Structure 1
Amino acid sequence: MTQPPHPGPPMPPDGPWSGTDHLHDGQPWAPPEPDAGKRRLRRGLVVAGVTTGVLVLGGTGYAVASYVSGGGAQPEEVLPADTLAFVKLDLDPAAGQKMAVSSLLDRFPDLVDGGDDDLRSTLVEPLLQDNPWGLTYDDDVEPWLGNRMAVAAVPDPDAASGVAGVVVLAVTDEDAMTDRLEAVPDADFAFTVRDDFVVIGQTQAVVDRVAATETPLAEDEDYTGDLEALDGDQVAVAWADLAGLQGVLGQALSPVGADLGADLGGEALTGRMVLGLHAEDDALEVEGLARGTAPTGSTAGTEPTRLVLDLPEDTVAALSVSGLGDAIETAWASAGGAGLPPELTEQAAALGVELPGDLGAVLGSDLALAVLGDLAAPQFGVRAVTDDPQRATEVLGQVLGSPELGLPVVTVPSEDGYVLATDQGLADALADDGGLGGTEAFQAAVADPDDAGAIGFVDLGTVIDQVVAEGGESAADAERFAALGAVGFSATTTDDGGRFVLRITTR
C-alpha cells in the first residue's frame, strides 16, 4: 500500500503564521497537481480523527479567533457539493484579519504563552492533553498538520442515519502524517489524500466518495452565495443545508415510524444557515444568516423591540423581545394546548389564570427584562407593552404573590403596559425613559438595535470589575479577562429569513 512521497505545498519563508510574523503578500501558495493516491489504516482512526477534528474546531474562542481565512486551497474544494453541513478554520490569515486578531490578542497577554509564538500549538495542545493514544502536538501533529481544516457531514447511503462525518485536514508532509497515524494503537478509521488534504472517515467507501467528487462544494451556487452574503472576511465559517439535513434524516427515521416534520411542529426545514466569525481590532463578531427560510405565521421578534433602549443606563444585563404574546397564543392554537403538563394547567386554573390569553397579556407585544445592581444583591425588573395592562398586573399578582411563590415584587400598570420590579425604586427607574441604548458599551456590542426584534446585552466590564473588587481566587481569574467590554446580540427578520449578530467587545 506504500505510495511514492507526495510533496506538500511550498511554505512561506518563515513557516506557518504566528502572532509576531510579518504579513505575507496575500498571494496563495501554488499547490502541486492533485494526487489520488490513497492511504488505508486499521479501522479505528476515524474515531480518533473525527473526535480530534471536532475538538480542534470547537476550541476556546480566543484560540479559534487566532487563525483566519487567507489565500490558497480551502476544504470546500475537496468536499462534495452535496455536503449537508460543515465547519472550517483557516490557520493562514489574510492581512486585514491577521492584524485584527493580533490586536485582540495583545489585549489578553495572560491568555497566550509569551514564550510560544505558534498560536496553533496554543490551540491544539490542550485538546491532546491526557488523550488515550499518547499523542503529543510536537511529535505527532505539528510535523504534518497544514493550515486548513474542516469537519463535515456528508450523505452516506450505507449508514443507518444516512449521514457520515468526515474530517478534512491540510497536510504539509504526507509521509510524516502516515507514519504518525499508523503508529496510533487501536486505531479504527480510513483515510485518503487529495490535493494535499487528508480526508478521514469511518469507512473507506465514504472517504473514497469524498475524494472522487467532481463537483466540489466550492462550486455550489447556494454555498458561494451564502458565503458572499456575510459581511466582510471571516475567521471561521459554519454552513448547513437545512432542507437537505431534514431530507436525509427523515428517510433514515421513516422505517421506524418517525416523522421528522411532525416532530418539528409540522414545519418542514427549508433553506440554509451560514455563520461567520469576524475579527476586528476591538471585537469579535459572529454573524448568522438564515437564507431561504422566510418565516410563516406569527412569530416572536418579527417587529423591532424598543423597550431595551430605554432601560436605565446602569443596567448590567438585559433581554428584550417583541411579539411574544401573539406568538404564544398562535402556537397554542396550532398545537391545541398539546404537550402542556396537566399539573401546570390545574395550577393555572387554581390561581384563576386562563391559558393562553392571560399569558399573552403578560408577555405583550414588547417585553424587556433587566438586571441591575451588585452581584451580591442584584435587582430584577420587567417592562412590558401590552393591550391589557390591568389584566397583566392582576395575573402577575396572583401568580407571584401566591403562597407557593410569595415573591416580594412591585407591579405597576401604566397606560400602555406595566412595570414589575424587586422594589419601588427600581420600578420607578424602569418606568422612566433611561438611556441604555445610548451608552458606549451598548452601542459597541449590539448591532442594528433599531431594526432588531430581539436584543440581549451584558456589561461584562462591570461584572468583571465587581468580581475583582470582591477579591479571592475568582478575582485572579477575572483579571485575565479585564480587557473585555460587553457582549451583545441582535436578531432581525429579513425577507429571505433572518440575521443574527453576536458581538464581544473589548475596552
Structure 2
Amino acid sequence: MTQPPPAGPTPPPGPGWSGADEIHDGLPSAPAEPGATGGRRLRRGLLVAGATAGVLVIGGTGYAVASYVSGGGAQPEEALPADTLAFVKVDLDPAAGQKMAVSSLMKKFPSLTQGGDDGDLKSTLITPLLADNDWGLTYDRDVEPWLGNRMAVAAVPDPGSEAGVAPVVVLAVTDEDEMTKRLGAVTDADFAFAVRDDFVLLGQTQELVDRLAASSSTLDSDADYDADRDALDGDQVAVAWADLAGLQGVVPMAQQTLGDEKLSGRVVLGVHAEDDALEVTGLARGTAPTAASAAGGPTALVTALPADSVAALSVSGLGESLTSSWGQLEDSGALAEFQDQIDALGLDLPDDLGAVLGSDLAVAVSGDLSAPSFGARVRTDDPQRATDVLDSLLADADLPVGVLPLDDGYVLASDQELADALSADGGLGDTASFRAAVPDLDDARAVGFVDLGRVIDQVIAQGGDDATQAQDYAALGAVGFSASTADDGGRFVLRVTTR
C-alpha cells in the first residue's frame, strides 16, 4: 500500500501527483532550458524499459537470481485497468521453483551474466537507458533506491489520442518517497507518473496516468485474462497477453489493414524455466481454428527423418489447406501480380500444387555446415502427379536435386545418400536431443527442430573469432517447437534445452 507522506510542508503524494513543483536538495536539477531531444530520450527510455526487460528474459541473458527465495506479492496487472488491450510483464522475483530453475540455467552461461553491478539485471537493463540524459540521472543514485522486482509495459485505450491506444509502463516501487523525489525532480520532462498501491504508472500525459490510477476495476480481476493466464502450465517468469478483438476495435491501423476481416479472441504467452530448458508457451483463446488451419491430422514424418539431421521442419495438411483457400486468394487479388509467372509454369492450380505439398511434409538438413545436404519427404494421395509436376519444374532449373517416387509419396534430395536415408526410418524421433526439445509431438500439426549443440560444436572446431563467440553458448543443446489446434484456438510451444 502507499506509504505515508514525508514530514514537512511537502504536499502528500498521491495518484496523479507528478512532483513537478517540489525542490529536493542534493538531487540533479533540470537544465534551465531543457531541449525536447533530452525529454524524448528519457521518456523513450522509461517507456521501453519494461519491454526490453521482457526481451532479455525471453532471450535468457543477464538474469541473476537473488540469494533469497520468496516470490509472491503484488503483480503489475493489479495496477492496470480491466480494459487493457495488451500487456507484457517480467517477474524478477518469481516463485521459488522458477527462481532456482533460472539460477541453474544461468550458471551454465557465466559469460552472459556478466555486466551491470554484481550481475544485477535491473542495473544491466536501465543503466544504458539513462546514459547521457540531460538531467544527470543515474541508476545507482536515482533508480535503484526505489525500483522493485516487477515491471510491465502495456497498451491501454486512449480515446483522446489519434492512435486510439497509448503505452504505459508499470514499475514496482519499494520506496515511494524516493521514487517521488527522483522522478519529481525532472521538472520539464515530457512524461508523467502516478502512484497506485505498490506501483508507479509512467505514461505520456498526466491525464492518462491519473485515469489509470483511479480505475475502479483492474486487469487481474478480468475473467478473460484470469482464465487465459491460468491456462498456462506452471509458474512463469514472464507473461504476455493481448485482447485481439479489443485491439481491432480501437486501433485505426488494424481496421484499415484488415478491412472486412475481423480479429477475434485473445492470445497469451508465458515463459517457464526448468533446470535444463527454457519453455515459451503461446495459446490462442476464444477463437475456433479455420478449416484451412485445421486441415489434416498430426504430422508424423518428422520422427522418421535421419537421426543425424541438424535441422528439421514438418507440417501436415499443407496441400489441403492450399486448395481450400485458393479461391479466397484469387478473390482477394493477391495473386494478380504473379499471374504471368503462374501461367508460365503451365500448372493446373491449385490441384498440382496440392499434390506436391501433400498431406504431410518433412524437410531435413544434415551434414557439415560448410557443405550441408538437404531434402524432403512428402506423403501425398497422388504420388505420380506430384513427381510428374516436380520433374517438369526441375527440368529447367539448375538445381542439384532429384526426385525419388515412393508408394505413399516421394523424396526430394540434394544427393543420393540423403535420398536413401529419407526413404527409410531414420529414427530422429528416438534421439535424446529431439525428445527433449520437441513438446506435444502427438498432437502437433507443425514441428521444428535444430540441434544447436552440433552446430556450435562445428563452429568451435573451425576455430577463429566465430569459435570464440560460440564458446559462450557451448551449453546449449537444441531448440524445438510444436504447433497444434484445439476447439477454441491453438497452442504453440518453443523449448530451448541445455546440455
Indicate the TM-score class for this superposition, using the shorter chain for normalisation.
0.7 to 0.9
Corresponding residue SS for 2:299: coil
Corresponding residue SS for 1:58: helix
Partner of 2:350: 356
Partner of 2:216: 214
For residue 261 of structure 1, report the CA deviation from its aligned partner: 4.3
Q: Distance in 2 between matches of 1:59 and 1:354?
A: 48
For residue 334 of structure 1, report the CA deviation from its aligned partner: 1.8
Provide closer, same or farther for how the CA distance between residues 128 and 37 of structure 1 changes in structure 2, counting only shifts above 3 A.
closer
Provide closer, same or farther for how the CA distance between residues 184 and 356 of structure 1 changes in structure 2, counting only shifts above 3 A.
farther
Q: Distance in 1 between matches of 2:89 and 2:318?
A: 35
Partner of 2:384: 390
Provide closer, same or farther for how the CA distance between residues 66 and 362 of structure 1 changes in structure 2, counting only shifts above 3 A.
farther
Q: Which moved more, 1:90-99 or 1:107-116?
A: 107-116
Partner of 1:304: 298
Partner of 1:110: 111
Q: Distance in 1 between matches of 2:117 and 2:254?
A: 49
Corresponding residue SS for 1:233: coil
Q: Distance in 2 between matches of 1:433 and 1:505?
A: 25
Q: Distance in 2 between matches of 1:430 and 1:349?
A: 32
Corresponding residue SS for 2:74: coil
For residue 50 of structure 1, report the CA deviation from its aligned partner: 1.1
2:5 matches 1:5: yes
For residue 6 of structure 1, report the CA deviation from its aligned partner: 6.6
2:18 matches 1:39: yes
2:359 matches 1:380: no
2:47 counterpart (47, 50, 57)? 50
Partner of 2:425: 433
2:394 matches 1:400: yes
For residue 161 of structure 1, report the CA deviation from its aligned partner: 1.8
- Segments of structure 1 that go 5 or more residues without pairing to the other structure are 8-33
Provide closer, same or farther for how the CA distance between residues 125 and 444 of structure 1 changes in structure 2, counting only shifts above 3 A.
same
For residue 64 of structure 1, report the CA deviation from its aligned partner: 7.0
Note the alpha carbon deviations across 1:295-344, whole angstroms, 9 max, x for none.
13222666200010100000000110101111111221123264445563
For residue 91 of structure 1, report the CA deviation from its aligned partner: 1.6
Provide closer, same or farther for how the CA distance between residues 242 and 343 of structure 1 changes in structure 2, counting only shifts above 3 A.
closer
For residue 120 of structure 1, report the CA deviation from its aligned partner: 2.2
- Spell out the pairing of 1:270-285 with structure 2 (5 A cutoff): 270-285=264-279
2:281 matches 1:293: no
Partner of 1:71: 72
**Alignment TM-score, normalising by the size of structure 2:** 0.87
Note the alpha carbon deviations across 1:452-492, whole angstroms, 9 max, x for none.
01000000000000000000000011011111000000011
For residue 40 of structure 1, report the CA deviation from its aligned partner: 5.3
* RMSD over equivalenced CA pairs, Å: 2.6
2:404 matches 1:412: yes
Provide closer, same or farther for how the CA distance between residues 372 and 129 of structure 1 changes in structure 2, counting only shifts above 3 A.
farther
Q: Distance in 2 between matches of 1:129 and 1:382?
A: 50
For residue 400 of structure 1, report the CA deviation from its aligned partner: 3.1
2:444 counterpart (443, 447, 452)? 452
2:143 matches 1:141: yes
Partner of 1:464: 456
Corresponding residue SS for 2:369: coil
For residue 58 of structure 1, report the CA deviation from its aligned partner: 2.5
CA contact (8 A) 1:57 1:64 kept: no
Q: Distance in 2 between matches of 1:489 and 1:283?
A: 13
Partner of 2:258: 260
State the one-letter code of the partner of 2:358.
G
CA contact (8 A) 1:491 1:501 kept: yes
- Segments of structure 2 that go 5 or more residues without pairing to the other structure are 8-12, 21-33
2:340 counterpart (346, 352, 358)? 346
Note the alpha carbon deviations across 1:345-372, whole angstroms, 9 max, x for none.
3233223222222211111111111110
Q: Distance in 2 between matches of 1:160 and 1:302?
A: 44
Q: Distance in 2 between matches of 1:189 and 1:114?
A: 29
Note the alpha carbon deviations across 1:212-232, whole angstroms, 9 max, x for none.
011111111111111111110
Provide closer, same or farther for how the CA distance between residues 495 and 343 of structure 1 changes in structure 2, counting only shifts above 3 A.
closer
CA contact (8 A) 1:368 1:384 kept: yes
Q: Distance in 1 between matches of 2:116 and 2:206?
A: 41
Q: Which moved more, 1:150-159 or 1:185-194?
A: 185-194
For residue 401 of structure 1, report the CA deviation from its aligned partner: 3.3
Q: Distance in 2 between matches of 1:363 and 1:38?
A: 61
Q: Which moved more, 1:372-381 or 1:170-179?
A: 170-179
Corresponding residue SS for 2:348: coil
Q: Which moved more, 1:353-362 or 1:133-142?
A: 133-142
